[in-house]
Amino acid sequence: MYSCRSFVSAAGHCTSLGTSSWAAPGEVTEAVKVAIDGGYRHFDCAYFYHNESEVGAGIQCKIREGAVRREDLFIVSKAGEKDLPLDHSGLAIPSDTDFLDTWEAMEDLVIAGLVKAIGVSNFNHEQLERLLNKPNLRFKPVTNQIECHPYLTQEKLISFCQSRDVSVTAYRPLGGSSQGVHLMDDPMIQTIAQKYGKSAAQILIRFQIQRNVIVIPKSTTPARILENIQVFDFELSEQDVEDILSLNRNLRLATFPIAVNHKDYPFSIEY
Ligand SMILES: NC(=O)c1ccc[n+]([C@@H]2O[C@H](COP(=O)([O-])OP(=O)(O)OC[C@H]3O[C@@H](n4cnc5c(N)ncnc54)[C@H](OP(=O)(O)O)[C@@H]3O)[C@@H](O)[C@H]2O)c1
């Protein structure tokens, strides 16, 4: 499902490990262990990444070792309408339901104590506004997880979300791994990286943090996992942030073509 609802289970951290991966068995578990040792406390998961047991194994291992406590971790999962109903809560949701009805089921999860907070993903500003204006809204979405990087800076949507006190989480912050887009090789990003003595990935991650945007780079490479969290010892100048913003070309990499004819396809309007 292109627009999914996020289940959020503890307090926030601004740099997270994205876990969508078609990695070899065990790779995601190892990535999670490296990440916890490296200081990550936020893990971005989803039912449809089909690796929740691997993520869980890494977390359980580190809890058993005493490296971290469960209450220190911020674990996000996602479900599309087709992933619901949620058998452990007794909720039954028709698959053709409106997203506002689905939201009520998610609110029930909070009431039941199964999740701490709920959010959305890939919502445009009209959808978010509809949700925020929903009569009898019991819980606001805490975040809207959206594709965001210098080629898709999302300034209007970020401004809208932040004005409504909904945080933004940037997915595909490094430009992902396919589709012939090499964001990390962009000459401006490379120049800024050299100026600060940082990698291109670190510049892209820091850029989001300075916009008050949560950022979830994915890696299963231990050295990169550690590199991607070494972003708190420098600050981009305002001019550099402006220059990075100027790279925007509204280039959306995650377009979810399978959903393009869905009535709630979110990318048909400007933002
Ligand atoms: N809500 C949604 O609809 C949605 C959609 C897409 C993604 N997401 C979430 O966002 C997360 C991140 O997005 P993404 O995985 O699409 O893209 P991404 O994080 O922008 O890019 C991941 C790619 O960058 C590489 N990489 C990571 N760190 C690097 C570094 N320091 N130097 C060089 N290369 C590096 C990774 O390689 P290695 O792994 O080989 O190191 C991988 O190929 C996902 O894992 C998922 O949790 C959400």
Closest ligand 1 atom, residue 175 Cα: 20
Reading the block at residue 169, the tokens are 């989480």
CA of 30 to the centre of ligand 1 (A): 16
pLDDT class for 22, splitting at 50, 70, 90?
Answer: low
Q: Which atom of ligand 1 is nearest to the CA of 202?
A: 31
Highest mean predicted confidence (pLDDT) among 6-15, 16-25, 38-47, 187-196: 187-196
pLDDT at 90: 43
> pLDDT by residue (tens digit) across 29-64?
999 999 999 999 999 998 888 888 999 999 999 999
Residue 163 CA, distance from chain mean position: 19
CATH homologous superfamily of 5-263 equals NADP-dependent oxidoreductase domain (3.20.20.100)
Residue 83's pLDDT is: 63
Closest protein CA for atom 43 of ligand 1: 177
Q: Is the pLDDT of residue 24 over 50?
A: yes
Of 244, 155, 235, 162, the closest CA to residue 204 belongs to 244
Q: In ligand 1, which atom is closest to the CA atom of 219? A: 39
Work out the average pLDDT over 57-79.
95
* Residue whose CA is at the smallest distance from ligand 1 atom 15: 218
User: Could you confirm whether 40 is annotated as catalytic?
Assistant: no
Residue 1 in this model has a pLDDT that exceeds 80: no
Of the listed ranges 59-68, 89-98, 222-231, the least confidently predicted one is 89-98
User: Could you read off the pLDDT of 90-123 as tens digits, one per residue?
Assistant: 444 445 567 888 999 899 999 999 999 999 999 9
Confidence of residue 15 (pLDDT cuts 50, 70, 90): low
For the chain, what's the residue count? 271
**pLDDT of 6 strictly over 80:** no
